[in-house]
Amino acid sequence: MKNIIALFAFILIAATVQSQSFSKKDITGTWLVQNVENSSSNPKMATAMANAVINLYADNSFEIKEKQEGGTAYSYATTTNKNATWSYNPSTQTISTTRSKITFKVSQSGDKVYFTDENSGLKFEVIKPI
């Protein structure tokens, strides 16, 4: 009986851990920043990233677009370097970029997905709007 309970607990824990990991396919796409946590660690970047769009394209190109103040609802400016690319390491759950040297740690808490910038410590709550 103890073995059955232990086996059930192991399966439950394994399923929980598996459900929190992302594949490259899960990461690819357009992400909208909903909220910025730890904004005091880098207030200037936190302000710039509020309502930003992070595009992780299937061809491995990468861009961040910041919402422009005073513009229309869809007024964004690209702030990453041309020809920037991204790669994903599923074992560490990190997204690394070239040219801008950004590394995001991908995590999930409940139904919320987060990209944490390892350099600044800013934690971006993101959603896929489409």
pTM, two decimal places:
0.76
* % of the chain with per-residue pLDDT over 70: 77
The number of distinct structural domains making up the chain is 1
Mean pLDDT of 44-66: 90
Q: What is the pLDDT of residue 72?
A: 59
Confidence of residue 18 (pLDDT cuts 50, 70, 90): very low
- Cα atoms found within 13 Å of the Cα of residue 95, Cβ hemisphere only: 29
Tell me the per-residue pLDDT of 30-54, one tens digit each, with 9 for 90 and over. 999 999 998 888 898 888 898 899 9
CATH value at residue 30: 2.40.128
* Parent domain of 101: 23-127
| 109 part of a folded domain | yes
C-alpha of 90 from chain center: 13
Please report, as a single letter, which amino acid is at residue 65: K
